[in-house]
Amino acid sequence: MSAIDLGQSVILGIVEGLTEFLPVSSTGHLKIAEGLLGIPVDDQSVVGFTAVIQVGAIAAVLVYFFRDIVRFAAAWGRGLVNARARQEHDYKFAWWVILATIPIVVAGLLFQSLVKGPLASLWVVAISLIAGSGIMWAADRFGTGKRGEAESTFADAMLVGSSQILALLFPGFSRSGATISTGLLRGLDRVAATRLSFFLSIPALTGAGLYELKDALGGGVDVLPLLVGTVVSFVVAYAAIAWLLKFVAAHTFTTFVIYRVVVGVALLAALASGLLSA
Mean pLDDT along residues 5-10: 90
Residue 1 has pLDDT above 60, yes or no: no
Closest CA to 113 of 168, 163, 176: 168
pLDDT tens column, 246-266: 998 888 999 999 999 999 999
Domain residue spans in the chain? Answer: 6-273
Beta bridge partners of 188: 147
Between these two residues, 221 and 269, which has the higher pLDDT value?
269
| Per-residue confidence (pLDDT) for residue 213, from 0 to 100 | 67
| Per-residue confidence (pLDDT) for residue 42, from 0 to 100 | 67
| Per-residue confidence (pLDDT) for residue 219, from 0 to 100 | 58
Residue 210 has pLDDT above 80, yes or no: no
Mean pLDDT along residues 206-214: 72
Closest CA to 137 of 250, 21, 253, 265: 253
pLDDT tens column, 55-91: 898 899 899 999 999 999 999 999 999 999 999 999 9
pTM: 0.85
Between these two residues, 144 and 48, which has the higher pLDDT value?
144
Where residue 115 falls among pLDDT bands split at 50, 70, 90? confident
pLDDT tens column, 143-161: 998 999 999 999 999 999 9
Please name the residue ranges forming H helices in the chain. Answer: 6-19, 26-36, 44-64, 66-81, 89-100, 102-110, 112-116, 122-142, 154-162, 164-169, 175-185, 190-218, 223-250, 254-273
Side chain identity at 277, as an amino acid letter?
Answer: S
- Which of these ranges, 7-11, 30-34, 232-236, has the smallest mean pLDDT? 30-34
Q: What percent of the chain has pLDDT over 90?
A: 58
Average pLDDT, rounded, for the chain:
88
**Distance between CA atoms of residues 139 and 125, nearest Å:** 21
pLDDT tens column, 167-182: 889 988 889 999 999 9
Between these two residues, 159 and 27, which has the higher pLDDT value?
159
| Per-residue confidence (pLDDT) for residue 221, from 0 to 100 | 67
Between these two residues, 51 and 142, which has the higher pLDDT value?
142
Contacts of 39 (CB under 8 A, 6+ apart): 3, 4, 8, 46
Residue 270 has pLDDT above 50, yes or no: yes
